[in-house]
Amino acid sequence: MCDSLVAVAAHTADGVTLFAKNSDRKALEAQPFVQLPAAFHPPGATVRCTHVEIPQVAETYRVMGHSPWWVFGFEHGVNEHGVAIGNETVFSKEPVEETPGLIGMDLVRLGLERGRSAREALEVIATLLETHGQGGPAFAPDGSGYHNGFLLADPDEAWILQTSGRRWAARRARLDAVSNHLSLGSDWEIGSRDLDGFARTAGWWDGGARLDVAAAYRNPGVPGRISEPRLRRARELLARAGGRVELATLERVLRDHYDGGDVFHPGATPEEERFFTLCSHNDVIGPTTASLLAPLPRDRSRPWPVWISFATPCTGVFLPVYLDGLIPAELARGGPEPESDSAWWCFKRLQDAAATDPVRHTGVLREAWRDFEAKLAAERHAVESAAGAAARAGDADHAAELLAAFMARATREAMERAQALGERLAGQDLR
C-alpha cells in the first residue's frame, strides 16, 4: 500500500514541481535505494524483469529508486530527465491475471528508463501493460499480485494513471494525491480502447453518461476506510498550503499521524479512520518502509537533490542523493536478513527501538535529528555550488566526485547517529 502526492510548479513556493511518496510494504522487506546508469542496447536484446523477460529498447536512461530486495523494479524513483513515478496497489472487480506478467514496480522502472517526460513514460507503461499484462507475486516473492495505479510527474506536468488488468485510464493532475483505490471518475482524459466496452460487456456500466472509471471498475469488497481517509487527508494537507507548497510541506505529509503530527500515537483500531495514517505503522496495509521527496526543476544544469528515507520517515531522516554522483554502497544494500552495513536495516532497527514507546521516543528522535538536518542543508548548498562550477567548467568527473563524497559522508554520519540513537532509546537514556 502507498500514497503519492504532487504539486506542479504553479502551486509551489519556488515554482518547481514537487513529487512525494510513502511506500508501505511488509515490515521486514528491505527496500534499498539503487542507481542504474544510462545504456545503449544491441538489436534483439531482452531484459529480465521480476517474472518475465521482455524486449529491451535501444537506449535506457539513468535512473535511481527504492527497490524491494527481490524485485527488478522500483516502488518509486526518478530519471535524468526529471521524471518521477510511483505506484500504488488498487483493487478492481477484474481478477488479477494468473499468468506471470509485469508487476507495478517493473513498470515504474521501465517507465523511468524509457520516458523523457511524464506523458512519454505514461505511454511506455500503457503499451507494456497492454502487451504483457500485470501478473505474478508483487506483495512478496510467494504472495499475490495486484492491479496498479501510478502518479507520474516531470518539471512541466503530472498525470494520474490507474489500471485494471490490461485496461487503463489517465488524467492530468496539478495539486493532487492518490492512494490505494481507483479514484478516477468520468474526468479521465485518455484511456485504453476497450476501457468502456469491457465495463459494459461485464455489466459494470450501463449508463448513457461517460464512463466513470471508479464506479465501474472499483472492487466494492475492499473497505473504503483503508485508503479513502488517507487520500482525503493528503489532499486536505496539500490544500492548506494555499498554492504555496514547499518541500517541507510534503515532508510533513509523509510523516503525518493526524492529530499526533509527526509523532505516532498507537491505540486506534482498524475500524477507526485514524488507524490508517499516511505514515503507516500497522500490519493491515503494512508499515511505511521507504519514502522519497523529489523536486523536479526545469533547469538541471546544476546538481539537484532527491531526498530519501528508510523505514518510517517519522523516526528517520531524509538524505539527499544525486543522479550525477555515485551513491554510497550502504544505500543500495539490503536483503532478506539484517545487515550491519545496510542503511535500510540500520533505520529499521531505529524504528523498532522507537516502537517500544512511540509517543515518547519519536519526539526524542525528531529533536535529535534537527541539528543534523541543519548541518546537512548547509553543507549540501556548498557542495552543489562547487559541483555546479566544476560541471560548467567542463569537468563533469570532478563534479560527480564531489557529490559522491558528500553522499558518502552524509550516509555514514546518518547511520552512525541512527545506531547511537537506537542504543540511547534501548537504554532509556533520554536526557
Per-position pLDDT tens, the chain of length 431: 899 999 999 999 999 999 999 999 999 999 999 999 999 999 999 999 999 999 999 999 999 999 999 999 999 999 999 999 999 999 999 999 989 999 999 999 999 999 999 999 999 999 999 999 999 999 989 888 999 999 999 999 999 999 999 999 999 999 999 999 999 999 999 999 999 999 999 999 997 899 999 999 999 999 888 999 999 999 999 999 988 999 999 999 999 999 989 999 998 998 888 899 999 999 888 999 999 999 999 999 999 999 999 999 999 999 999 999 999 999 999 999 999 999 999 999 999 999 999 999 999 999 999 999 999 999 999 999 999 999 999 999 999 999 999 999 999 999 999 999 999 998 875 55
* E runs forming strands in 277-331: 288-296, 306-310, 319-321
Per residue in 285-309, pLDDT (tens digit) is 899 999 999 999 999 999 999 999 9
Let me know the angle formed at the C-alpha of 314 by 407 and 108, rounded to the nearest 5 degrees.
Answer: 65
CATH of the domain at 203: 3.60.60.10
pLDDT in tens, 315-356: 999 999 999 999 999 999 999 999 999 999 999 999 999 999
Dihedral (CA of 254, 259, 265, 268) sign: negative
In a domain, 80, yes or no: yes
User: 128 is in which domain, residue-wise?
Assistant: 2-7+16-223
Query: Within a domain: residue 390?
Result: no
Q: Which of 2, 49, 314, 346 is catalytic?
A: 2
Q: Is 167 a domain residue?
A: yes
Q: Classify residue 26: in a domain, yes or no.
A: yes
pLDDT tens digits, residue range 245-271? 999 999 999 999 999 899 999 989 988
| DSSP character string of 8-41 | -GGGBTTS-EEEEEEEE--TT----EEEE--EE-
Q: How far apart are the first and last CA of the chain?
A: 36
Name the domain count of the chain.
1
CB-CB contact of 273 with 229 (8 Å): yes
Residue 278 lies in a domain: no
Residue 429, pLDDT score: 56
What sign does the dihedral 125-234-83-174 (CA atoms) show?
A: positive
0.95 surpassed by pTM: yes
Whether 421 is in a domain gets the answer no
Catalytic (active site) residue 2: yes
Domain presence at residue 399: no
pLDDT confidence of residue 126: 98
Q: What are phi and psi of 252, to 5 degrees?
A: -65, -35
Rg value, the chain, Cα: 21
Distance CA 273, CA 415 (A): 34
- Domain membership of residue 236 (yes or no) is no
